[in-house]
């Protein structure tokens, strides 16, 4: 896998599980508010620690030889058995990695639970992971309603994959959440109603206000006040989606 960072400890990324976090490089979306721009563009170095928190950030001492990053992470996991319970694989977009399934399989064989974060553009990859019982928790970002998705997709021809992934996750994931980073023009009460219809009956939906105090993919986007939401705006978004997903939360 092309790795962009590694966080040794996290208590917040995998619900109910002490986990480490593996960050992959490269993404097929261009969300202007993306908080990991160097991962999204694929420019993050594999020896970079990545996190919004301030603990467990020590990057591994990774060399540049034959796929050393992945090997070092597996070595770390081997030593931490019993201390860490799970591994979060996030990005970038992890499903773009050709050897994602092999990596997860190895991690599972070591006894770790796995959470995967995805933007939902690879339902075939998700289907294989579900059928092989390789993922314990799936988190899918819902960027906006289906009409507005082309605003963030490099290939809008893949639009049908979003709905396919949603259906697959609701049917096969052992545990999951859908989540939306809330920023205009990607959300509004009307758009939230449409999203509610897309994920109607889902177990869990999380709304996160978009933070402007971090580096983002498009600095020009962060400079526009109108893109950011107040607490009252967030409550209105939640109200619009509640009729469709009872467990809708603002995080």
Q: Is the peptide bond before 92 cis (omega within 30 degrees of 0)?
A: yes
Q: Which of 41, 63, 53, 40 is nearest to 8 (CA)?
A: 53
Binding site for ligand SF4 (CB under 6 A): 27, 29-31, 34, 36, 40, 91-93, 119, 141, 217
Nearer to ligand SF4 (CB atom), residue 76 or residue 221: 221
Nearer to ligand SF4 (CB atom), residue 154 or residue 200: 154
| Helix, strand, coil percent content, the chain, rounded in steps of 5 | 35, 20, 45
Nearer to ligand SF4 (CB atom), residue 52 or residue 132: 52
What is the C-alpha separation between 137 and 143, in angstroms, rounded? 19
Shortest Å, Cβ 40 to ligand SF4: 4
- Alpha helices, DSSP H only, in 48-178? 68-79, 100-109, 123-131, 159-172
Nearer to ligand SF4 (CB atom), residue 47 or residue 141: 141
Shortest Å, Cβ 52 to ligand SF4: 13
Shortest Å, Cβ 164 to ligand SF4: 17
Shortest Å, Cβ 231 to ligand SF4: 22
| Torsion of Cα atoms, 182 then 56 then 44 then 135, to 10° | -70
């Amino acid at each position: 896998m092309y790795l962009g960072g590694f966080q040794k400890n996290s208590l917040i990324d995998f619900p109910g599980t002490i986990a480490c976090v593996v960050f992959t490089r490269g993404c097929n979306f261009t969300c202007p508010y993306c908080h990991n721009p160097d991962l999204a563009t694929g420019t993050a170095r594999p020896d970079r620690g990545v996190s919004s928190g301030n603990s467990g950030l020590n990057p591994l001492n990774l060399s540049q030889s034959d796929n050393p990053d992945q090997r070092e992470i597996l070595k770390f996991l081997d030593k931490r058995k019993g201390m860490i319970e799970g591994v979060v694989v996030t990005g970038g977009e992890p499903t773009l990695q050709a050897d994602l399934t092999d990596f997860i399989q190895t991690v599972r064989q070591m006894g770790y639970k796995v959470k995967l974060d995805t933007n939902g553009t690879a339902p075939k990859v998700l289907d294989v992971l579900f059928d092989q019982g390789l993922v314990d928790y799936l988190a899918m970002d819902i960027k906006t309603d289906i009409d507005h998705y082309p605003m963030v997709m490099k290939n809008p021809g893949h639009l049908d994959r979003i709905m396919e992934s949603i259906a697959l996750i609701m049917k096969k994931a052992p545990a999951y959440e859908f989540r939306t980073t809330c920023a205009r023009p990607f959300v509004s009460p009307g758009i939230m109603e449409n999203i509610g219809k897309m994920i109607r009956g889902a177990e869990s939906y999380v709304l996160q206000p978009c933070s402007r105090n971090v580096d983002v993919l498009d600095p020009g986007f962060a400079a526009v006040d109108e893109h950011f939401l107040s607490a009252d705006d967030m409550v209105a978004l939640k109200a619009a989606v509640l009729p469709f997903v009872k467990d809708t939360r603002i995080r």
